[in-house]
Structure 1
Amino acid sequence: MAKKAELCPCGSQVSYKSCCEPLIIGKSFAETAEQLMRSRYSAYTKGAMTYLYETTHPSHRAGYDHDGTKEWAENSDWQGLEIISTKDGSPDDSIGEVEFKASYVGGDGEHVHHEIGRFRKADGKWYFTDGRMAGQMPLHVEKIGRNDPCRCGSGKKFKKCCGA
């Protein structure tokens, strides 16, 4: 097993050099939809925007915001990828779905991006086509200070009410 510092960001427990790096630098291509999903997550953590664009299916590239994607990726502290499930997407398939959760800290706090990504194989290569949010949208909870009024409406300070 590789040292923690060398592990691939995708969570495979394999070194980055032997996992996602060969895909991102173009030495090889993803064999499955899940492998492409994992490499795309690693690309976000490494700031490899060209790879993200090139692995998006050509018919889904219209409106791709290269600069916005780069800014978001670089201003996020990527915490991990969890693959929930895969549907199809093997080397013999032409379409696939990967449900995943990507955790990151950015902007206003901690976030979990829970998506079902769709993938299509064209000319022997897997591409990301689109995705939809899965499950409930994450809640953004504003922190309450001890001396702030309690949110329950009692009129008491939080520390003397629900925070007791």
Structure 2
Amino acid sequence: MISDTDACPCRSGKTFGECCGPFLSGAALPPTAEALMRSRYTAFATHNADYLEETLLPGTREDFDRDAALEWAKSSLWTGLEVRHSEAGGERDEDGVVEFVAHFQADNQDRVHHETATFRKQDGRWWYVDGIMGARPRKVEKIGRNDPCSCGSGKKYKKCCGQAA
């Protein structure tokens, strides 16, 4: 059992009582997508399958396997959380994306769960929508030699930042 004065399993640097504890107890709602993601990690670490189910976006819960989630949570030692990237998901946003790596041990082996999760704010509350394993591909636009330079100079790329040194 974790106490309010223990370090929060999500490794935010705060105590459980000032971080994820109020969310898991229902005393408060996570104000951001990242806070919800951290609290869901903590729910795994504290074996709180009810919270995992309750934070799924309504309408997406039909395929949630509570027993399997609880078994995974209990059979693993949750050793840390690493937030890699967040997009939107702030208090005034309606959608957010959080890329994270959950570290755990299972069968005496170090393992990771790398996910890019999507969150949605609905009725004033953040919900977990879904996730993909690994990092979400980031869109990179190529600049052609005759395109305007991305530095904003007004020159063509080939005559500005694209010049060979």
TM over 0.5: yes
* Residue identity in the other structure for 1:54: E
The answer for the alignment partner of 1:148 in structure 2 is none
> What is the deviation of 1:107?
2.9
Percent of residue pairs bearing the same amino acid type = 41
Cα distance in 2 for residues equivalent to 1:57 and 1:102: 21
> What is the deviation of 1:100?
0.2
* Residue identity in the other structure for 1:47: H
1:49-98 C-alpha deviation (Å, 9 max, x unpaired):
11110001012111110001000100001110000010010011110000
* Residue identity in the other structure for 2:96: G
Cα distance in 1 for residues equivalent to 2:23 and 2:81: 17
1:21-66 C-alpha deviation (Å, 9 max, x unpaired):
0000000001000000000000100011111100010121111100
SS of residue matched to 2:103: strand
Superposed CA RMSD in Å reads 1.1
Cα distance in 1 for residues equivalent to 2:90 and 2:47: 27
* Residue identity in the other structure for 2:55: T
SS of residue matched to 1:58: coil
The answer for the alignment partner of 2:115 in structure 1 is 115
The answer for the alignment partner of 1:45 in structure 2 is 45
The answer for the alignment partner of 2:148 in structure 1 is none
Residues 1:94 and 2:98 are matched in the alignment: no
Aligned pairs, how many? 131
The answer for the alignment partner of 2:63 in structure 1 is 63
The answer for the alignment partner of 1:154 in structure 2 is none
* Residue identity in the other structure for 1:127: W
SS of residue matched to 1:6: coil
> What is the deviation of 1:108?
6.2
Return structure 1 stretches of 4+ with deviation > 4 angstroms: none
The answer for the alignment partner of 1:54 in structure 2 is 54
Structure 1 gap segments, 5+ residues each: 136-164
Cα distance in 1 for residues equivalent to 2:112 and 2:94: 28
